[in-house]
Structure 1
Amino acid sequence: MTDLLRPLEERHTAGDLLAEIADRAPALGGNSGGWPGLTFYRYTRPVAPQWEEVRSLSLCIIAQGRKRVVADGRAHAYDPFNYLVLSDRQHFTAEILEATPARPFLSLVLQVDPALVRRVSADVLDRRATTFDRMARNQSERAFVTPLDCTLMSATLRFLRATGTGADRRVLAPIYLAEMVYRILQAEQYSRLLEIAASEVARNPVSEVVSYVRDNMSEPLTVSDLAERVSLGPSAFSHLFREVTGKSPYQFVKEMRLNRARDLLIEKRLSVTQVSKAVGYASASHFINEFRGRFGATPRAYSDLRALRAEFGVRNG
């Protein structure tokens, strides 16, 4: 199809994508993309091979320059004409091959929820769960390079522009992101993308984290640490966690700590200091303030009141 015959919204060029990424990557190195798991990169000189890691299924697109990635012993070179897909928990070496101050290396990396890959594939091609299970057991390559065609480039550009405004971000960005996945699935790499997604979608990162928090409540628990346990970036993890639970990871962990503290005060008659340490508070005063905020009384007053009610109930039983 010639450019004149394409819908107006698809008449985007590599120059449009270059301008968008250049604007979103003002600083050298990584620049936050304002969307969970989206990062823009700028380099003005070649960079020697160095070890890197991705924590989720990731789409890597270059607008200017060249890069080489070595994953699982295989080299993958890509440029503005090709994109790279990497699986989760992938350790690799990355080397910037072409970059100058006049023509800086410009790229983006977008973490993609593997469940979205599965959902789009099922909607379009009616692939069933057994297909994914079989693929997960027979996983082969965990990284691949494929040509970047105009349809994927256009969908990517519309997605990036939609993330810049509030209403578009909420309504259009998820639609364009799904279109990006659809365009990748239309390419020759359909089965390989599904293999990667299937290996990840079987995991339930939120469930993993909740179980871990429950079993390790006395330990320091930061959002970054929890995200790392399930191989996600903090931003992508927080977004997913809120979608599933309706609460931020911080709020959820705090409520779990305080609910457990209440149970300990009632069941074991521990001191306030003992309880605060048992549920992961380094400061007893901080624990007391947060407990009062949640239950309307200090831990000691709450414990004494419950004990008094229990004793009164026994005497009058």
Structure 2
Amino acid sequence: MSEIIPKQQNELAEMIKRYAENDGVHATAIPSLFFIRDSNASVPRHGVYKPSFCLVVQGAKEVWLGQERFKYNPADYLIASVNLPVTAQVTEASPDVPYLGFKLEFTANQILEVLRDSEMRVGPKENAKRGMFVSRLELPLVDAVIRLARLLDNPKDIPILAPLFTKEILYRVLQGQHGARLEQVAIEGSSARQIKDVIEHITNNYDKSFRIEELAEKVNMSVSSLHRHFKEVTAMSPIQFQKELRLQEARRLLLTESADATEVAFRVGYESPSQFSREYSRMFGFPPRQDIMRLKA
């Protein structure tokens, strides 16, 4: 961990081990802060990243967005600036040295608040950039992260200090190498902000069909501009984005409820069970029934 002294790394690792004794994703007493633990390198896992700041404290991880791979380890941090369906995989972990992760979710309004309160010079509106990036971790940012995590040992301080330390973390990211990408998502009228609004609409209505012309009109963009900027931010088209959301929700429903594949297909918005089965197999490698039996086993 080139930028962090071992003492800081060890303190954060020990804290995560204490609050995440078992493998899995663990919510903490600090709103929007999660600790992750994995004792083994994992198979690829599908999910939706909300806007979040992610650290690997121990081990290594890679995240696929469309066909693009983002690798990061304890020397880096990863930012998802909008909701993004991804495939993530822990690549370095063992029972003796488990993978340990730190994830802090945030909103565009929190970014705006930092920009406003810090009087940071906001750059001009730019064309939208990829909604995910990896940057090198620097000491001032690590200090803010550790101060936030320490609050878990002093719960009475959380309501007052957690928002301040979260704001500092976002401030440090905005000052970093790719800070302008995060800034653009919050700026009213920027193409990144318009695409964020389209993403939120699709996310909230993933089970309903849409016309691309209506989405473009909703955010005051041309159809061609919407397509171009959406693909730049998400690495996929609006239709592909919706399909990933539908299939991930379908898999969740099949795992947690006793519904059959046809019922689930209709619930997530498919009109053809055979098309659902075909696209499910393409994404997860197995037909629905076989995939769920395999996962439960």
Shift of 1:125: 4.0
The Cα of 1:127 is off from its aligned counterpart by 4.4
Q: 2:35 aligns with which of 36, 40, 44?
A: 40
Structure 2 partner of 1:81 = 75
TM-score by length of 1: 0.55
Query: Whole-Å Cα distance in 1 between the matches of residues 19 and 81 of structure 2?
Result: 25
Q: Choose from 145, 148, 168 the match for 1:179.
A: 168
Moved over 6 A (4+): 201-204
Q: Deviations over 1:158-216 (max 9, x none)?
A: 01112443331011111111111111112111111112344569989xxx9xxx9xxxx
For 2:152 and 2:82, locate their aligned partners in 1 and report how far apart those are by CA, in whole Å. Answer: 24
User: Aligned equivalents of 1:103 and 1:28: distance in 2?
Assistant: 12
- Give CA-to-partner distance per residue, 1:231-273, whole Å, 9 cap, x none: 9xxxxxxxxxxxxxxxxxxxxxxxxxxxxxxxxxxxxxxxxxx
Contact 1:114 1:201 (8 Å CA) reproduced: no
Q: What is the CA-CA distance between 1:124 and the residue it aligns to?
A: 2.6
Q: CA RMSD in A?
A: 3.2
**2:149 pairs with 1:160:** yes
Question: Are 1:13 and 2:40 counterparts?
Answer: no
Structure 1, unaligned runs of 5 or more: 4-9, 213-230, 232-317
Once the two structures are superposed, the pairs formed by residues 161-310 of structure 1 within 5 Å of their partners are: 161-198=150-187, 199=192
The amino acid across from 1:179 in the alignment is: E
- State the TM-score, normalizing by the size of structure 2: 0.59
**1:240 maps to which residue?**
none
Larger radius of gyration, structure 1 or 2?
1
1:33 positional shift: 1.5
Letter in 1 for 2:33: L
Give the aligned partner of residue 105 of structure 2: 111
Inter-CA distance 18–139: structure 2 relative to 1 (3 Å threshold) = same
Which AA in structure 1 matches 2:71? A
> By how many angstroms is 1:12 displaced?
6.0
Does structure 1 residue 96 correspond to structure 2 residue 90? yes
CA distance in 2, matches of 1:81, 1:66: 10
Change in 2 beyond 3 A, CA 1:90/1:172: same
SS in 2 for 1:13: helix
Identity of aligned residues (%): 26
Unaligned runs of 5+ in 2: 206-244, 246-297
* Equivalent position of 1:68 in the other structure: 62
SS of equivalent to 2:159? helix
Output the CA distance in 2 between the equivalents of 1:46 and 1:108: 17
Cα contact 1:68–1:77 (8 A) shared by 2:
yes
Matched, 1:51 2:46: yes
**One-letter code aligned to 1:95:** Q
Which one of the candidate residues 15, 27, 35 is aligned to 2:22? 27
Tell me how far apart the structure 1 counterparts of residues 194 and 18 of structure 2 sit (CA, whole Å).
33
Partner of 1:315 in structure 2? none
Figure out how many residues of one structure are paired with residues of the other and give that number: 196
